[in-house]
Amino acid sequence: MNSYKISELPGGIKLVSETIQYVKSFSLGFWFNVGTRDENESNNGISHFIEHMVFKGTKKRSAKKISEDIEAYGGYLNAFTGKENTCFYGRGLQENLERTFNVISDMVQNPLFRQNHIKKEAGVVCDELHDINDNPEELIFDKFEEILFAGNSLSLPIIGTEKNLGSFNTSMLHRFHDEKYTNGNLLIAASGAVEHEKLVSLTEKYFREKSQASRLKRKLFLKSSPVEFVLEKDIQQVHSIIGRAAIGYNDERRLGLKLLSILIGEGSSSRLFQAVREKLGIAYQINSFLNSYNDVSAFGIYFSTNDKQVEKVVNIILREFKKLRENKVSQKELDRVKEYLKGSTILALENTSNRMIRMANSIIYYNRIITVEELLHRIDLITADDILNLANEYLQEKDLTRIFLRYPNKQLKKVA
């Protein structure tokens, strides 16, 4: 039997754990409520850069020793930065929980941020930035959110800018780290062969007591106006996103919007995949997406095709949107997308890292654990009327932002 436990320690650190009796390993994540949304234009990219730099050494460990202390026992260590959170996580066998906890807690509390390391890593991250700029599939999503969320720090790219990367120094990193990476801004989540009481004792052992820092205050996203934007790049295909801002995690209708997204363009049985790829063969890639944050989501359709077919693909997308605004989805199709979402949710739970991430996100965005049973029940409650109402609210042609990434000087026809 699996069990969830939640604690908050006097210093402000939150703990959430799930014990899974039948596994011999664990996934452990240290989640800081800090990301790109907490930056500005002059320091954009600093959260992602700090994520890299904590691996470069502490007062106790060199970069090599950080890796060896985990990998020598068959474990795994990594991190990722988002627009609202940064997570440092590890996986290992149950007997190595304290070892992994010790290493990560040292990394996040005691980074050296040496200037020679900063200079070297700035070059590495610049290469990562160039890789993104060379990859139209990644670049267009950054550009879409830059335009969609203009005026809000959500518009900033996670990786930052080359100019900023060249300006980071030891004092800047320490200042940002001391202000944002506080005990009161930390959630520790673990899933697998773990005991909650052990996590509590490890936290008390390895974290210095500090006064609880208040949660970061963020500027809420208000609204955006639809625009059409063309970005020129030396590429063969035209890449495009058609979409808009929509409801975020703080709106209970988001689950219905997720079902609408699946119905439109997730999976090979979705409406757009069938209409554009299977029936006409005019695009290799076409899919919907719903990238969600606390108070807003980026929702839309991404596709790539040759320049001659762009207008046709756009018109098909708009036609499918119109159908969904004017006609209720059949119960058969609604049941199909519900089973798709329920199935993908349950399949993801076979991995302790996915379970840890899901659990952490539940605490971060809802301040409680939303059990799988509760989620499945909420999916079942969504009706065809709910989908119709959401389609009329979020699939209006006049509200859509359109971005096209294409080869310079090609004549891209004005699309409908």
Give the list of residues 6+ apart from residue 283 with CB closer than 8 angstroms, or none.
Answer: 276, 277, 303, 304, 305, 309, 313
Tokens at 156, concatenated: 């900033």
Burial of 114 (0-12, 13-18, 19+ CB in 10 A): middle
Element (H, E) at 87: strand 86-93
DSSP 57: B
Does the active-site annotation cover 51? Answer: yes
Give the list of residues 6+ apart from residue 171 with CB closer than 8 angstroms, or none.
Answer: none
Give the list of residues 6+ apart from residue 318 with CB closer than 8 angstroms, or none.
Answer: 397, 416
Q: Residue 383: phi, psi to the nearest 5?
A: -110, 170
26: number of Cβ within 10 Å: 28
18, 39, 51, 320: which is the annotated catalytic residue? Answer: 51
298/246 Cα distance (integer angstroms): 6
161/129 Cα distance (integer angstroms): 8
148/241 Cα distance (integer angstroms): 11
162 close to 129: Cβ distance less than 8 angstroms: yes
Q: Residue 193: phi, psi to the nearest 5?
A: -80, 70
385/82 Cα distance (integer angstroms): 34
Neighbouring C-alpha atoms within 13 Å toward the C-beta of 204: 10
User: Active-site positions?
Assistant: 51
